[in-house]
Amino acid sequence: MMLLKRLAVRRRQLTVRRPRAARPPLLLIAHLVAVFVALVACEKKDAAPPAASQAASDTNTPATPVVKPEFAKLVGKWQRPDGGYVIEIKSVDPIGKLQVAYFNPNPINVSRAAAYQKDGGVKVFVELRDVNYPGSTYNLAYDPQSDQLFGQYFQAAMQETFDVTFGRLKEP
C-alpha cells in the first residue's frame, strides 16, 4: 500500500503540467462581441413591432399604412392657365412621397416630389431635373375651397421666381 502511495506521488512529480496557451484578450473580446451580435440579431428577427403584431393578431391581415386624406386629395392632373404646363400627381404614399409627372407639353424629368403639412395646410414640393430645368422647383399650397394649387415656381436656368396657380383638370 505504501508502495502504491509512493508511486502515485512519484507519478505526480514526473507529470509536468504545461500551462494552457492563453488566448489573446483581443481574440476573446472579438468572440464575445460576435456572440452578442448574433444573439441580438436573432432576438430582433423574432420580435415584431407592437403595432404590427397587434394589428395582425386582431385581423389576421398585415397592417397597411394609411394615406392622409389631405394628401389623397392631391391625386390628379393640374394645369397652369398660362400655358400647357401640367403636373400629374399619380399617387401619394403615407409619408407624403409623391409620384409625379410634369409636362410642358412634353415630359420633363421630376427628380423628387413630396407633400407635407405646414401652417395648418397641405404643401407640395416638386423639383425638375432635365434639359433647361437644372433644379427648377415648384413650392405650392393646396386650397381646398377653390381646389387649386398656388405658390411659386423657381426657374433655375434664369434664376427667376414666378407666382403660379394650377387648376385641377376634369377627366372627360
Position with higher pLDDT, 45 vs 152: 152
Co-location of 48 and 104 in the same domain: no
Co-location of 99 and 40 in the same domain: no
DSSP letter at 126 equals E
How many CB atoms lie under 10 A from the CB of residue 111? 13
Co-location of 95 and 56 in the same domain: no
Chain centre to alpha carbon of residue 4: 78
Co-location of 42 and 124 in the same domain: no
pLDDT in tens, 140-150: 999 999 999 99
Q: Quick check: is 12 in a domain? A: no
Co-location of 73 and 56 in the same domain: no
Query: Can you give the pLDDT at residue 66?
Result: 73
Number of compact structural domains in the chain: 2
Q: End of a domain among 15, 34, 64?
A: 64
From the list 72, 76, 110, the residue with the least C-alpha distance to 92 is 72
Co-location of 84 and 163 in the same domain: yes
∠ CA(159), CA(161), CA(163), 5° rounding? 165
Rounded CA separation 100/165 (Å): 17
Share the mean pLDDT of the chain.
78
pLDDT in tens, 77-134: 999 999 889 999 999 999 999 999 999 999 999 999 999 999 999 999 999 999 989 9
Query: Can you give the pLDDT at residue 89?
Result: 97
Position with higher pLDDT, 32 vs 144: 144
Query: Can you give the pLDDT at residue 70?
Result: 84
Query: Can you give the pLDDT at residue 40?
Result: 46
Amino acid at 44: K
Residue range(s) defining the domain that contains residue 34: 23-64
Q: Which cell numbers hold the place of 133?
A: 430645368
Co-location of 51 and 108 in the same domain: no
